[in-house]
């Protein structure tokens, strides 16, 4: 496996450092506004919870033009006595540089993995650079399970608004859980902890010229860890609040990136997921507490209009992907009134499985296929919002649990259509 070439000055810094116990990576692209806070939180976390360990903060930047790397270099905690009782023994080194390779978060992470391996790091963490809610405790919660408890991968657990994370709640979590049998609640959270051994394993995979380098690194990391039997856990980090999103971000492109990455992984790990039925909980660290979350406004009427627009215009594609049976059920949803609109969990599970099968059979161009899922996803999201409107957060979790169980119940449908021989073998056993 070829390694990436780091700049000579970065290599010199790595050589000067020699080794490190902990590496914290912060991928960035034009995040000068928020990255200072993230760097300070990471520094404080390392100083407070890992005073005896040598640590390095790595900012792997995608060629920012707003001075992100300068902000990283200049950000720091002037006076540790304000937040700590004891001074840290060793200073925290910072590396900020533009990564090389295919532009994308995956390439940024690859540079972090490379540095972790060069420094022989025992534990690593990566956090997003646009976080407004990160606290020093996040570093403890992401790193300690690796350093102290022997886990290889730490996925985040957040408190989010009940209407947020709808791709995660309605597609990625139920699908990943049903496929691999592990209840990792935020498989694409973006903030992860992992062992040096797992970083090295990631680095050795032949994916760095693929879409994993561009997008889909989050689900790839989670799935790779689970599918290769690394010890996986979760840590409760509190609220996840980002910097304001790009209002021009296209939902169908976002859906394509996340869903195609997940479907691609299904191809690679079919022998792993095909025999799995049901799921088991994944241990969790951290003290769970409720947090006040920002108000989120939604317009279900417009979302349902978009779903019906899809039904009117994309029926040829949907019929081809879903088959006559599931498509006629989707058609029946179109005549429901806005107030009573419901998308049955079992039907949604089969829709996602049908799309996974169409992707597997290469029924059409992946971008066309997955983007044609957008109106269905919007319909499902609208149904979820309508159902969850009067629910407490705990009740919303129960609703998501019901959806996950529907995915698990229908897994035979997916497995038998994916590999009929495999199911026959399983039944014989």
Residue numbers of the site for other proteins (CB under 8 A)?
Answer: 160-161, 163-168, 188, 242, 245, 247, 250-252, 254-255, 258, 296-299, 302-303, 305-306, 309-310, 312-314, 317, 361-365, 368, 371-372, 374-375, 381, 385
**CB-nearer residue toward other proteins: 102 or 298:** 298
**CB-nearer residue toward other proteins: 130 or 410:** 130
**CB-nearer residue toward other proteins: 171 or 282:** 171
Enumerate the H helices of 235-276 as residue ranges.
251-268, 270-273
The CA distances from residue 338 to 303, 310, 334, 341, 342, in Å, are 10, 16, 10, 5, 9
Least CB distance to other proteins at residue 306 (A): 6
Least CB distance to other proteins at residue 358 (A): 10
Structure tokens at 211: 């879409």
Strand 153-159: give its sheet, edge to edge. Answer: 93-98, 55-61, 22-28, 123-126, 192-195, 153-159, 232-239, 284-285
Write the burial class of residue 18 (CB in 10 Å: 0-12 exposed, 13-18 middle, 19+ buried): exposed
Whether the CB-CB separation of 128 and 190 falls below 8 Å is answered with yes
Least CB distance to other proteins at residue 395 (A): 18
Least CB distance to other proteins at residue 296 (A): 5
Orientation angle between helical segments 345-360 and 173-180, nearest 10 degrees = 70
**CB-nearer residue toward other proteins: 92 or 322:** 322
**CB-nearer residue toward other proteins: 256 or 273:** 256
Least CB distance to other proteins at residue 381 (A): 8
**CB-nearer residue toward other proteins: 20 or 212:** 212
Least CB distance to other proteins at residue 76 (A): 30
**DSSP conformational letter for 372:** T
Distance CA 401, CA 173 (A): 10
Residue 239 — φ and ψ, nearest 5°?
-80, 150
Buried b (16+ CB within 10 A) or exposed e, 197-223: ebbebbbebebbeebbbbbbbbbbbbb
Least CB distance to other proteins at residue 176 (A): 14
**CB-nearer residue toward other proteins: 101 or 366:** 366
Nearest C-alpha neighbor of 97 from the set 80, 83, 120, 115? 115
């Amino acid at each position: 496996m070829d390694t990436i070439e780091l700049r000579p000055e970065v290599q010199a810094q790595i050589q000067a450092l020699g080794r490190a116990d902990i590496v914290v990576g912060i991928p960035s692209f034009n995040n000068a506004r928020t990255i200072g806070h993230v760097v300070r939180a990471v520094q404080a976390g390392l100083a407070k919870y890992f005073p005896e360990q040598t640590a390095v903060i790595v900012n792997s930047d995608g060629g920012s033009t707003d001075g992100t790397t300068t902000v990283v270099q200049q950000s720091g905690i002037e006076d540790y006595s304000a937040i700590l009782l004891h001074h840290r023994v060793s200073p925290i080194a910072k590396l900020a540089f533009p990564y090389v390779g295919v532009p994308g978060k995956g390439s940024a992470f690859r540079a972090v993995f490379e540095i972790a391996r060069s420094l022989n790091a025992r534990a690593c963490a990566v956090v997003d650079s646009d976080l407004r809610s990160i606290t020093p405790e996040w570093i403890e919660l992401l790193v300690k399970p690796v350093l102290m408890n022997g886990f290889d991968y730490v996925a985040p657990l957040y408190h989010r608004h009940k209407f947020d994370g709808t791709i995660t709640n309605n597609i990625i979590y139920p699908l990943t859980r049903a496929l691999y049998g592990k209840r990792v609640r935020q498989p694409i959270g973006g903030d992860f902890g992992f062992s040096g051994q797992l970083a090295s394993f990631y680095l050795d995979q032949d994916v760095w010229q693929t879409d994993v380098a561009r997008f889909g690194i989050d689900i790839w990391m989670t799935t790779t860890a689970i599918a290769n039997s690394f010890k996986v856990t979760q840590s409760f980090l509190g609220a996840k609040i980002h910097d304001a999103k790009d209002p021009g971000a296209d939902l169908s492109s976002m859906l394509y990136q996340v869903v195609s990455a997940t479907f691609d992984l299904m191809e690679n790990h079919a022998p792993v997921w095909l025999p799995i039925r049901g799921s088991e909980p994944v241990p969790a660290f951290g003290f769970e507490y409720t947090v006040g979350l920002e108000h989120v406004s939604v317009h279900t009427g417009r979302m349902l209009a978009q779903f019906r627009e899809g039904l009117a215009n994309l029926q040829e594609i949907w019929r081809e992907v879903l088959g006559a049976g599931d498509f006629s059920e989707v058609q029946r949803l179109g005549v429901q009134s806005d107030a009573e609109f419901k998308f049955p969990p079992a039907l949604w599970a089969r829709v996602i499985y049908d799309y996974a099968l169409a992707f597997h059979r290469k029924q059409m161009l992946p971008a066309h296929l997955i983007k044609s899922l957008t109106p269905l996803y919007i319909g499902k999201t609208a149904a979820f919002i309508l159902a969850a409107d009067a629910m407490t957060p705990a009740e919303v979790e129960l609703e998501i649990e019901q959806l996950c169980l529907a995915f698990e119940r229908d897994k035979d449908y997916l497995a038998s259509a994916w590999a009929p021989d495999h199911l026959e073998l399983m039944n014989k056993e």
